[in-house]
Structure 1
Amino acid sequence: MITGIGIDLVECDRFLDWSAFKKQRVFTKKELEYADNDNANAEKHLANCWAAREACLKALGLGFGEDIAFSDVSVIHDDAGHPELLLAGGAKAALKEMAGSNAHIQVSITDQGEYSAAVVVIEKQD
């Protein structure tokens, strides 16, 4: 059963002027390494991560703030390069409360031109 759906759209150029310090504060080491592996498209990769994180929080009915840290939602990639979401802290607790301990999160990320978008679907598994 679907318990949450979230979508987000972000301009890739948003991250061009961010300092290394700000990027390190917001993105995980793995996210930054993944972006740095394709330096020509680094901002696009960061925008993809940001859109996926925001879509996840929207699916959970949350936002970054007191109970949710930037590091509570991160984007990782499997061996084939497919994105997956890794939840920790407040986001993980909210997921368990919403959909139980067998919850399944699906994420789809796309980018075109100057925009990145992501959709997240949270399913409660029986």
Structure 2
Amino acid sequence: MNVVGHGIDLVEVAALRRWIEDPRDPLVPRCFTADELAEIGDGPDRIERIAGRFAAKEAVLKALGTGFGDGVAFKDVVVRRKPGGPPEVVLSGGAALAAQGLGVTGWRLSISHAGGMAIASAIALVDAAHAAVPPAGPR
């Protein structure tokens, strides 16, 4: 596997809480699928989990070089986690098209929370057999 992109994002949990609680901008239903919200669940650390998933979505799109907008929606990036397993990236829509254009065949995603912050790092991988071979330069 070869790395074709890397993205990292840092989210202040308190700032995200204020954004979520702002009735003028319904962040949660705009950014997360019903399945993601069910997996995030409730409880005292719900906001931290939302912040980590939000940072992960941003990191994935940075790895793709797209950001949100121009045909890429927040819900085009879904972050799932099976019990005891690492977080997984599932793309659709514009994000899937961008990944396909880069030849992305896999992801490595890490999410962490500490000190009122959530951070995520996303690495986009391409299969070495399908990686573009750079042209030979002068010797």
Q: Equivalent of 1:93, from 76, 97, 106? A: 97
1:80 aligns with 2:81: no
Q: Which amino acid aligns with 2:57?
A: R
Q: Which amino acid aligns with 1:73?
A: V
CA drift at 1:25 = 1.6
Q: Which amino acid aligns with 1:32?
A: L
CA drift at 1:66 = 2.6
Count of residue pairs the alignment pairs up: 123
SS at match of 2:68: coil
- Once residues 14 and 78 of structure 2 are traced to their aligned partners in structure 1, the CA distance between those partners, rounded to angstroms, is 20
Contact 2:77–2:92 (CA<8 Å) still a contact in 1?
Answer: yes
What corresponds to 1:117 in structure 2?
119
CA drift at 1:86 = 0.8
What corresponds to 1:66 in structure 2?
70
What corresponds to 1:11 in structure 2?
12
Q: Equivalent of 2:106, from 88, 97, 104? A: 104
SS at match of 1:14: helix
Q: TM-score, normalised by structure 2?
A: 0.81
Q: TM-score, normalised by structure 1?
A: 0.89
Structure with more of its chain in helix, by fraction: 1
CA drift at 1:34 = 2.5
- Once residues 22 and 55 of structure 1 are traced to their aligned partners in structure 2, the CA distance between those partners, rounded to angstroms, is 17
What corresponds to 2:137 in structure 1?
none
* Structure 2 residues without counterparts, runs of 5 or longer: 130-139
Q: Which runs of 4+ in 1 moved over 6 A?
A: none
RMSD: 1.6
Contact 2:86–2:109 (CA<8 Å) still a contact in 1?
Answer: no
Q: Which amino acid aligns with 1:106?
A: R
CA drift at 1:81 = 4.4
What corresponds to 2:132 in structure 1?
none
What corresponds to 1:29 in structure 2?
34
